[in-house]
Amino acid sequence: MPMTASNIVDMIKEAIPDAQIDITDLRGDGDHYSAVVTSQSFKGKTRVQQHRMVYDALQGDMGSGLHALALQTAIPDSNS
């Protein structure tokens, strides 16, 4: 069963409360999303560790409820 963008946002926010998430349904099918996740929690972590934090937040739904996620992670600009 496809996931909604709000489901994905809720799951990420539960694990990474300060995350700012910009999510797009790439095909309109609830299966293919693009997400930019920005969080201070990523500071000091490698890109792989940052992505693992997000995928862990999705609790194994990759491949079942969510087929594809084009993911970008970032640390907030300290000047903003």
Helix/strand/coil (H, E, C) string of 32-49? Answer: EEEEEEECHHHCCCCHHH
pLDDT at position 79 is 64
pLDDT at position 32 is 87
The secondary structure element, H or E, covering residue 69 is strand 68-74
pLDDT at position 74 is 98
pLDDT at position 68 is 83
Radius of gyration from C-alpha coordinates of the chain: 12
> All domains of the chain, ordered by start, with CATH?
5-74 (3.30.300.90)
What is the token pair recorded at 21? 């998430």
What is the distance between the alpha carbons of residues 32 and 65, in angstroms, rounded to a whole number? 10
pLDDT at position 60 is 67
In this structure, are residues 73 and 47 in contact, taking their beta carbons and an 8 Å threshold?
yes
Which parts of the chain sit beneath pLDDT 70?
1, 60-65, 79-80
pLDDT at position 66 is 74
pTM of the model: 0.86
What is the distance between the alpha carbons of residues 11 and 17, in angstroms, rounded to a whole number? 10
